[in-house]
């Protein structure tokens, strides 16, 4: 028999990235975690994880499908318990986590909303992984979380919009003089980008690979956005950044957009929200208001 506890442990394994860290977080043995997952897989008739002894777990296709539904399953169970037990006080604040760049045009919108609505919107800037955000939403620390992704890297949440990107270099970089920049041109120039501990790094690498750049060599890897801009200004290399930077920062830092011979695909903006929470009319209205600002009317570019 499949139990709710098995699904709770499955969600915890996904959130923490390994059976060992899941066991530590839940205060149970790693053997117990493995037994629960083996039993769940046996009753489902499919494997949910590609196991590597001593290493992180990777989801199978069936596991990815499970992730998209386990959030709602556990949320509905939690809501059912609250209903039977009498429920809790209704939240008066809608907690929303967004990447810092998504928040750039939201201040006035949120101020207007909060001055007229019965429930306030409280924004939190984050630089978290999708798994960390999923865990916070499931734990009801957040009502909703938005994050950037690309091309199937993440199995959680739903795509609600896109963020356009461009490739930037110093305004006096030799590539700026070329009428059209090719992938062969780019492969001779190093990348200035985020360090590997930032969630957007894997996304930016995936986008560069999708353009046909097989070998990505980083000259600068940093968590500081200012260092990325100053490195570009010194002509060290190129970077893939939000197209909106063009107006806000590029001119001040002497940067130019490369005229690439193909379109740079946009980032996906994905949203994690418990299905049960969407019954709240105020929450749905608040999310619609936010997404009218953060989601650009851009369709994904076709692969080259």
pLDDT in tens, 10-56: 988 988 888 988 999 889 999 999 999 999 999 999 999 988 776 77
CA distance 246 to 263: 16
Task: At 133, list the tokens.
Answer: 């955000």
pLDDT in tens, 207-245: 999 999 988 999 999 999 889 999 999 999 999 999 887
| Identical fold, 93-161+268-294 and 165-257 | yes
The arithmetic mean of pLDDT across residues 143-168, rounded, is 91
Residue whose C-alpha is closest to residue 219's, from 240, 248, 189: 189
Using CA atoms in the order 197, 199, 200, 206, what is the torsion angle rounded to 10 degrees? 90
Beta bridge partners of 296: 162
Quick one: pLDDT band at residue 86, thresholds 50, 70, 90? Answer: low
Least confident of 72-81, 95-104, 235-244: 72-81
The yes-or-no verdict on residue 119 having pLDDT over 80 is: yes
Quick one: pLDDT band at residue 300, thresholds 50, 70, 90? Answer: very low
CATH number at 4-85: 1.10.10.10
pLDDT in tens, 153-164: 887 888 999 999
pLDDT on residue 302: 44
Into which CATH architecture does domain 93-161+268-294 fall? 3-Layer(aba) Sandwich (3.40)
Comparing 201 with 104, which gets the higher pLDDT?
201
pLDDT on residue 92: 81
pLDDT on residue 85: 65
All structural domains of the chain with their residue ranges: 4-85, 93-161+268-294, 165-257
Comparing 274 with 177, which gets the higher pLDDT?
177
The arithmetic mean of pLDDT across residues 280-284, rounded, is 88
Q: Are 235 and 173 in contact (CB under 8 A)?
A: yes
Specify the DSSP element, H or E, that contains 97.
strand 93-99
pLDDT on residue 296: 65
Which residue do the tokens 């600002």 mark? 293
CA distance 65 to 156: 9
CA distances from 163 to 108, 197, 241, 251, 266 (A): 20, 22, 10, 20, 5
Using CA atoms in the order 248, 253, 254, 259, what is the torsion angle rounded to 10 degrees? -50
Q: Are 126 and 133 in contact (CB under 8 A)?
A: yes
CA distance 67 to 10: 9
CA distances from 65 to 13, 128, 154 (A): 15, 22, 11
pLDDT on residue 304: 39
The arithmetic mean of pLDDT across residues 53-72, rounded, is 83
pLDDT on residue 67: 86
Q: Please, where are the H alpha helices in the chain? A: 4-16, 19-26, 30-44, 61-85, 107-116, 130-138, 183-186, 199-210, 225-233, 245, 281-294
Q: Are 156 and 68 in contact (CB under 8 A)?
A: yes
Specify the DSSP element, H or E, that contains 148.
strand 144-149
| Mean pLDDT estimate for the chain | 87
CA distance 180 to 172: 16
Is residue 293 helix, strand or coil? helix
Beta bridge partners of 268: 149, 162
Residue whose C-alpha is closest to residue 162's, from 301, 302, 300, 303: 300
165-257: CATH topology is D-Maltodextrin-Binding Protein; domain 2 (3.40.190)
Beta bridge partners of 169: 256
Q: What are the percentages of helix, strand and coil residues in the chain, rounded to 5?
A: 45, 20, 35
CA distance 239 to 218: 10
Going by the DSSP 8-state scheme, the letter that residue 105 receives in this structure is G
Pick the most confident of 15-19, 136-140, 283-287: 283-287
CA distance 201 to 171: 24
Q: Report the percent of the chain where pLDDT is more than 90.
A: 59
Q: Are 165 and 267 in contact (CB under 8 A)?
A: yes
């Amino acid at each position: 028999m499949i139990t709710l506890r098995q699904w709770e442990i499955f969600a915890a394994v996904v959130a923490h990235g390994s059976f060992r860290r899941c066991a530590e977080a839940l205060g149970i043995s790693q053997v117990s975690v493995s037994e629960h997952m083996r039993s769940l897989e046996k009753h489902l008739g499919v494997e949910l994880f590609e196991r590597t002894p001593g290493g992180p777990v990777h989801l199978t296709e069936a596991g990815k499908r499970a992730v998209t539904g386990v959030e709602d399953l556990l949320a509905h169970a939690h809501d059912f318990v609250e209903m039977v037990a009498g429920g809790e006080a209704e939240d008066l604040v809608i907690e929303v986590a967004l990447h810092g760049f998504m928040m750039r045009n939201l201040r006035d919108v949120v101020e207007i909303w909060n001055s007229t609505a019965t429930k306030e919107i409280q924004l939190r800037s984050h630089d978290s992984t999708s798994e960390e955000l999923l865990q916070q939403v499931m734990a009801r620390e957040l009502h909703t979380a938005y994050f950037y992704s690309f091309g199937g890297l993440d199995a959680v949440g739903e795509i609600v919009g896109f963020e356009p990107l461009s490739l930037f270099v110093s305004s006096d970089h030799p590539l700026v003089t070329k009428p059209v920049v090719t992938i062969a041109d780019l492969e001779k120039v190093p990348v200035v980008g985020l360090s590997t501990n930032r969630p957007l790094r894997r996304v930016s690498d995936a986008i560069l690979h999708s353009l046909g750049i097989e070998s990505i060599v980083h000259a600068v890897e940093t968590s500081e956005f200012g260092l990325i801009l100053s490195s570009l200004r010194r002509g060290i290399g190129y970077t893939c950044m939000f197209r909106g930077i063009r107006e806000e920062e590029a001119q001040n830092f002497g940067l130019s957009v490369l005229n690439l011979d193909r379109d740079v695909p946009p980032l996906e903006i994905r949203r994690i929200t418990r299905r049960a929470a969407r019954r709240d009319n105020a929450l749905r209205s608040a999310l619609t208001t936010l997404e009218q600002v953060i989601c650009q009317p851009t369709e994904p570019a076709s692969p080259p």
